[in-house]
């Protein structure tokens, strides 16, 4: 009797161990990132490759300075010299160490901003371009809306903890992707050191972003840390000729978690051309059309595709569409579908569609 009970106990124990192993193996297949919020996004297509709480609103510390740089490059002149004010010198947190009254070019201030995470550089840029921090922050918010970062709000150009200064991992990836369209931005954030005599700067600069040394192909972007935001990191990595943006917010092991996301993307995604520019993707009738409507791809659609996942396309046009239509007019859209969801959308262009005569339209003949 005791032997039977013992054998039953052993069987139950072995079953639990087997189930536990199955559970562990299943969990291994799903990436876990130790961060409050995280995202991996292709910088060109904006296709999301991984996300965790990517639309949660949180403080983002000095990753704010990505937008500061964007606004500075949009409105400023690189060789213009800005005065370092008492306000800039007295700001707390990380600083370059500029002296009150120094005259620094905007180009140099951008290196101080992104290399050294200089809060004094951020204030000097804001005051030099807009007159004060408040007006500069308004420019930041306007640009954020223009980019599509709708869950973001800036109060300062440096990112020190402030009420109503917030972002999301998704928005931060969008902002970074926009910044990476600018060659100057890429040149700055992808460089490890810049000597003073390179551009006749007042001092030399060393980039404190160690991710440049830890991931092959890493070419930026920005670190950040405050008490409320925790440790943050925005990274860009060139993977087979394509830049992928990685964001981790409030992540103590930010370097390791970024590398983990990078390894995940590298192993699980391959860039593929879904549609070529000029491909005809639709042909059909259109109201009052004398000839057929034909829709073409406006550009190549190249996106990162997950291995062993099926991708399809779907064309959508308005039921209210009617002739006449001009050649190359934007008409309808094409969606790339994966796992039942649209992961990428682009517009299409039409051929020339002439309209039928008024008499035919009146009599209902198309």
Cα–chain center distance at 248:
12
Pairing of strands 193-194, 103-105: unpaired
| Among 312, 307, 310, residue whose Cα is nearest residue 334 | 312
Total number of residues shown for the chain: 366
Instruction: Return phi, psi of residue 53, to 5°.
Output: 50, 40
CA distance 343 to 301: 12
Q: What is the CA radius of gyration of the chain?
A: 27
- Of the listed 45, 52, 54, 65, which one is catalytic? 65
Known catalytic membership, residue 292: no
Known catalytic membership, residue 62: yes
- Of the listed 117, 137, 236, 251, which one is catalytic? 117
- Which SS3 state, helix, strand or coil, does residue 174 take? helix
Residue 275 Cα distances to 73, 240, 283, angstroms: 34, 19, 16
| Among 211, 187, 159, 174, residue whose Cα is nearest residue 73 | 187
CA distance 89 to 100: 6
- Of the listed 62, 85, 236, 355, which one is catalytic? 62
First-to-last alpha carbon distance for the chain, in angstroms, is 89
Known catalytic membership, residue 117: yes
| Among 35, 86, 44, 85, residue whose Cα is nearest residue 63 | 35
Instruction: Return phi, psi of residue 323, to 5°.
Output: -75, 155
Catalytic residues: 62, 65, 117
């Amino acid at each position: 009797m005791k032997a039977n009970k013992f054998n039953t106990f052993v069987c139950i124990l072995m079953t639990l161990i087997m189930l536990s192993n199955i559970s562990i193996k299943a969990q291994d297949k799903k990436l876990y990132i130790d961060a409050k919020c995280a995202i991996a996004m292709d910088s060109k297509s904006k296709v999301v490759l991984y996300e965790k709480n990517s639309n949660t609103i949180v403080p983002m510390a000095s990753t704010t300075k990505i937008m500061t740089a964007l606004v500075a490059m949009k409105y400023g002149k690189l060789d213009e010299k800005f005065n370092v004010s008492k306000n800039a010198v007295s700001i707390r947190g990380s600083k370059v160490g500029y002296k009150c009254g120094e005259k620094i070019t905007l180009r140099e201030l951008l290196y101080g901003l992104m290399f050294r995470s200089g809060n004094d550089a951020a204030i000097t840029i804001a005051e030099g371009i807009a007159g004060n921090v408040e007006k500069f922050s308004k420019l930041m918010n306007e640009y954020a809306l223009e980019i599509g970062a709708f869950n973001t709000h800036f109060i300062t150009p440096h990112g020190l903890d402030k009420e109503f200064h917030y972002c999301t991992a998704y928005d931060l990836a969008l902002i970074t992707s926009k910044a990476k369209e600018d060659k100057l931005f890429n040149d700055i954030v992808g460089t490890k050191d810049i000597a003073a005599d390179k551009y006749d700067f007042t001092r030399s600069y060393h980039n404190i972003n160690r991710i440049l040394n830890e991931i092959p192909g890493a070419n930026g972007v920005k670190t950040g840390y405050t008490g409320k935001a925790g440790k943050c990191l925005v990274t860009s990595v060139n993977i087979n000729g394509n830049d992928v943006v990685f964001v981790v917010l409030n992540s103590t092991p930010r370097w390791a978690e970024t590398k983990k996301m990078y390894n995940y993307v590298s192993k699980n995604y391959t860039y593929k051309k879904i549609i070529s520019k000029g491909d005809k993707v639709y042909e059909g009738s259109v109201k009052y059309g004398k000839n057929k409507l034909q829709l073409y791809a406006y550009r190549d659609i190249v996106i990162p595709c997950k291995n062993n996942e099926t991708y399809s396309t779907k064309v959508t046009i308005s039921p209210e569409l009617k002739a006449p239509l001009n050649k190359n007019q934007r008409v309808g859209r094409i969606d790339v579908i994966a796992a039942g969801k649209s992961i990428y959308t682009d517009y299409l262009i039409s051929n020339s569609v002439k309209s039928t005569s008024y008499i035919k339209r009146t009599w209902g003949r198309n």
